[in-house]
Amino acid sequence: MLRSLKPKVLDDITFRGPDRISAFTSIPKRVNLGYRSGRSFSGLLIAKIVVVVFVAIFLVLGSVTAPTTHTFAANEESGPGEEREALEARLKELESQISEYEDRVLGYKKQGMTLENEVSSLNSKIAKLNLQIEAVNLNLRQLDGKIEDTQYQIITTEISIDDNKESLSRLLQNLYENRNTSLIEVLLKSNQLSDIFNDLNNITLLQNNLQITIARISDLRNQLIDQQDQLSLARADASTLKEYQASQQQLAKAAKSEKNNLLEVTKGQESKYQELIKETEKTAAEIRNRIFQLLGGGELTFEEAYSYAKLAGGSAGVDPALILAVLDRESALGRNVGRCSYTTAMHPKRDIPYFLEITTKLNLDPESVYVSCANSDGAYGGAMGPAQFIPSTWVLYEDSIAEVTGHNPPSPWNNADAFAATALYLKDVYYSQGCKDYSQQIPSQASILQERCAAAKYYAGSRWYYYRWTYGEAVVTRASEFRTDIAKIDG
């Protein structure tokens, strides 16, 4: 897989010993060329000295720079094979079938709450859940292939690093031997001017090769870190999908049990069903006072959470129910976000500097602030507050959040700021090209597909496609429930 390479950092290498000669230090002047003597020199010797002075000045003043770009195409990913194409085709087919069942469920709701419609709706939900389980299995097969590819890339990169280390060792040895040769020794052992140039050019060439090799090792190391992070994320994705698969199976069983119980209690009579509906229907007062669990920890009454969501959603143009569903703890697939220190959880280069900047502006002790933990597969955590933004993403939205809430600087741990951050991010991903394209697969379900995509992107970023039927679907379902609750509150 071709990657955009990160800026290179060329670490200077210093030899041990009394002289402590740097690998990139220009050759020290070993001879006082300004010394005047009463002795006479031959024309050839004077010519040699002039040439040596010229070359020495060139080495001292000239800059030796490393190449600014390298291309490492180790194991570049080939185009999708027949199996991959078949999996994608089957996933699209499943997507269409699942959407058909969603249409049926919505249709039954529009027709009204009747026993017949409820039984038919439950049957459609069961069929939909079974199809989702099949879709998860196909996604797991795709992830297995990705994990295998990434593991192969890691092995290849490690071999390349070892090869370059051996090359670096040889270059250092050669450079050390050449740098210990004084100019007098060069003059005495050289019979021709070309020999002098060859010796000095060899030193220059060694310096260039040394810098190139160090840059290459640095690039390969960064590439290896990225590949290992990708592998950790892929494993985490697979683990999440397996957990979700098990939960879907349980939901399918629960739906069947609910249908059987419903028919047993009502004995197939509509009047008894309507009485049951009245008994189980929640009032507006109950909904207002219900405890709303935030994804990143903390509690609000549903009415308070809704007021924050309305403010944020009104400013960003996002449905408050969608904001609530994302921030609700249940929409995170039941995962515990944890309570970890930034020093152990965050990506050291990508997030820690921004985290320290954020806490400094807020006058917070970074050691006393907890963030989400790294997962068991090694992928970094570090998400902050109810909105669960990582620091490098939060700083991109700070100014926009401040415009919504008036808090400057905004805080990831402030509820109003967190709701605004969620709304702004959802707006961006909802209207992203990826979500637009995805929503057009089934035009009749465009808004639902777009919400599902936006929620999955909120959770997994560029890996959203694996989370359409896990996090994305959970959020869409939860948002639908919240819309019913909001309608009762608003009267």
Domain co-membership, 314 together with 457 = yes
| Secondary structure string (H, E, C) spanning 212-265 | HHHHHHHHHHHHHHHHHHHHHHHHHHHHHHHHHHHHHHHHHHHHHHHHHHHHHH
Tokens of 381: 């955590």
In a domain, 130, yes or no: yes
> Is residue 33 situated within a structural domain?
yes
In a domain, 158, yes or no: yes
Where a domain ends, among 250, 267, 292? 250
**Residue closest to 188 by CA, chosen among 31, 311, 10, 320:** 31
Structural domain contains residue 261: no
Q: What angle do CA 178, 160, 23 make, to 5 degrees?
A: 25
Let me know whether 66 and 127 are in one domain. yes
Asked whether residue 487 is domain-assigned, the answer is yes
Chain centre to alpha carbon of residue 398: 19
> 384 pairs with which residues across the strands?
389
CA distances (Å), origin 41, targets 36, 38, 280, 439: 11, 10, 112, 87
Domain that holds residue 419: 282-491
Count H helices and E strands in the chain, helices first.
16, 2
Three-state SS for 275? helix
Length of the chain measured in residues: 491
* Whole-angstrom Cα Rg for the chain: 33
Same-domain check for residues 417 and 369: yes
Phi and psi at residue 5, to the nearest 5°: -85, 145
* Same domain as 321, residue 232: no
**What's the number of domains the chain is made of?**
2
Domain ends where: 200, 232, 250? 250
Does 274 reside within a domain?
no
Run of H or E including 467 = none
Asked if residue 239 and residue 360 are part of one domain, the reply reads no
Return the half-sphere exposure (C-beta side, CA atoms, 13 A cut-off) of residue 108: 18
In this structure, are 370 and 309 located in the same domain? Answer: yes
Q: What is the pLDDT of residues 131-142, one digit of tens each?
A: 888 887 887 787
Q: What is the pLDDT along the chain (491 residues), one digit of tens a residue?
A: 333 333 333 333 333 344 443 333 333 333 333 333 444 444 444 444 433 333 343 333 333 333 333 322 333 344 456 777 888 888 888 888 887 887 888 788 778 778 888 888 888 888 888 888 888 788 778 777 777 877 888 788 788 778 777 777 776 776 666 655 565 655 555 555 555 556 556 666 666 776 777 777 777 777 776 766 767 777 777 777 777 777 777 877 888 888 888 888 888 788 887 887 777 778 888 889 998 988 877 889 999 999 999 999 999 999 999 999 999 876 555 455 568 899 999 999 899 999 999 999 999 999 999 898 887 666 788 999 999 999 999 999 999 999 999 999 999 999 999 999 999 999 999 999 999 999 998 888 899 999 999 999 998 888 898 888 778 888 998 999 999 999 999 87
Q: Is residue 267 part of a domain?
A: no
Assess whether 115 and 192 both reside in one domain. yes
- Single out the residue of 72, 485, 54 nearest to residue 303, CA to CA: 485
Residue 340 forms part of a structural domain: yes
17 and 64 share one domain = yes
Looking at the structure, do residues 237 and 313 belong to the same domain, yes or no? no
Do residues 135 and 66 share a domain? Answer: yes
pLDDT digits (tens, 9 = 90+) for 366-407: 999 989 888 766 678 899 999 999 999 999 999 999 999 999
Tell whether 220 and 333 lie within a shared domain: no
Going by C-alpha positions, the residue among 8, 11, 22 that lies closest to residue 172 is: 22
Residue ending a domain, choose from 194, 228, 250: 250
315 and 462 in a common domain: yes
**3-class SS of residue 21:** coil
Helix (H/G/I), strand (E/B), else coil: 347 = coil
